[in-house]
Structure 1
């Protein structure tokens, strides 16, 4: 399902997906249309712009994930702002691309997200990883009840930030695909539990490239 309020962009994405052999089961121009059409369309993946007429992309993400936890949301936005990326992840998005991405990057991201991978534009992955690291390593990690990350979760997420697929990570670490997926989902859940004000402040301080590898 493709959701974007710009007809030319929406049509182009739909054509690219169909040309690649993917079935587009629905399109929408705003949040209201998206929520109205989602139950009947039952898409596996929703390619969603954030800046759409109300409800916005973050609110749509939260609602459709609530309705169907198995759905995969890939944000395709002109914005690479820290707050937008983190809000989308906290709402349940498992992918985030900026609109400067190429056609091939979009198609690859849709396929990977549909398989359960978490996909970010590289610089944005560093931002999210930076917050995971702070949760894992920060001295105040136990003061506010924030769940800590395990060493393995941190290791997996470093690889996610580098753009590696779950399959590649599983092979590198000699783990099953399901185990890798569970590590990432557990960490996303932990991030959602964190105080948003502290999260946003830290993200702004760190910038987008928090990965020091």
Structure 2
């Protein structure tokens, strides 16, 4: 990807900071304390899961826990609870690995759309009319009960922000303490020369807003309800 006006931009920043532009020999500082890394670092996986569940409940999100064999039944119940008929999901290999494709094919009452890059913006129109968006979390933050989605041509972020409700399937192997570890994973991918997705979405429960007189309103900017299904995959 080409970078335009890089030197001009950096010169402007350096000028505002009142120091010369330095492009070489820059070293990352070593912090004397690292609370962003140390906090929760000694928690076990089960303790992180307990933290995630508690926080999800605090933000008004349903939480279920199962294994791969039980996922379809839990998902079916969640869809029924939301009275969902129109479903949208990503073109994600995990749909096949976790048995979702077979489930969708067997449920004749469901109208399931799998994100199709060739349809362009029609995908967003379908998402807007969908009852439920179903996604897999790529990294899950226990501290804030946040799911992280790496969006790409087969996985538009409209899947989780436009439907009335959404369901996040969370493999327990994706759970980390907090945003610090998520950022580290992304940084490591870049450092290893991987092509990073152009959009990374951090989504925490259903849509909430309290901008006006601190009165909490649900569903203003996105889904009204959310369900997390934790799947033991280790």
- TM-score, normalized by length of structure 1? 0.31
Bigger relative contact order, structure 1 or 2 (CA pairs below 8 A, ≥6 apart):
2
Higher Cα Rg, which structure: 2
Q: Which has the higher helix share?
A: 1
